[in-house]
């Protein structure tokens, strides 16, 4: 395994989370731009930045598996992806619970 890539795996996650925080900050700055446009661009940026972290985190988990439990590298890799899928499912449930009582019309009201 390339040692330069191995050393940069934790750093890529840190930089990705920093970029995610900066893009989330941009959602609140809507003085001169319509809220809907900022929201759409912000969600796209956050989605990109979150999934940019996946390969670096996957590499880091596999390296930890090789170091501590070499016989269970495949389990460590599978648990990492399973955690992402659980996060997607929980986010969908929370989003449905927030939007459910009011429907999609609440989003149109926020733009006014």
Q: What is the mean pLDDT of residues 61-77?
A: 88
Q: What is the mean pLDDT of residues 58-74?
A: 88
* Token representation of residue 103: 């429907």
The residue written with tokens 């661009």 in the block is 41
**Angle value at C-alpha 33, between 108 and 99, nearest 5 degrees:** 25
pLDDT at 30 over 70: no
pLDDT category of residue 86 using cuts at 50, 70 and 90: very high
pLDDT category of residue 58 using cuts at 50, 70 and 90: confident
CA-CA-CA-CA torsion for 71, 72, 74, 78, nearest 10 degrees? 180
pTM for the predicted model, two decimal places? 0.52
Q: What is the mean pLDDT of residues 82-100?
A: 88
Per-residue pLDDT of 32-56, as tens digits, reads 666 667 667 777 877 787 778 788 8
- What are the extents of the domains in the chain? 3-111
CA-to-CA distance for 105 and 1, rounded, in angstroms? 52
For the chain, the first-to-last Cα distance in angstroms comes to 54
Q: Where do runs of H (alpha helix) occur along 28-72?
A: 35-68
């Amino acid at each position: 395994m390339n040692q330069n890539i191995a050393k940069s795996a934790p750093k890529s996650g840190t930089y990705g989370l920093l970029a995610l925080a900066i893009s989330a900050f941009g959602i609140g700055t809507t003085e001169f731009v319509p809220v809907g446009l900022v929201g759409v661009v912000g969600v796209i940026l956050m989605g990109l930045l979150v999934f940019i972290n996946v390969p670096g985190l996957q590499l880091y988990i596999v390296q930890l598996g090789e170091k501590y439990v070499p016989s269970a590298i495949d389990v460590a890799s599978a648990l990492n992806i399973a955690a992402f899928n659980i996060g997607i499912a929980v986010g969908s449930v929370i989003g449905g619970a927030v939007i459910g009582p009011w429907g999609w019309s609440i989003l149109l009201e926020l733009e006014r």
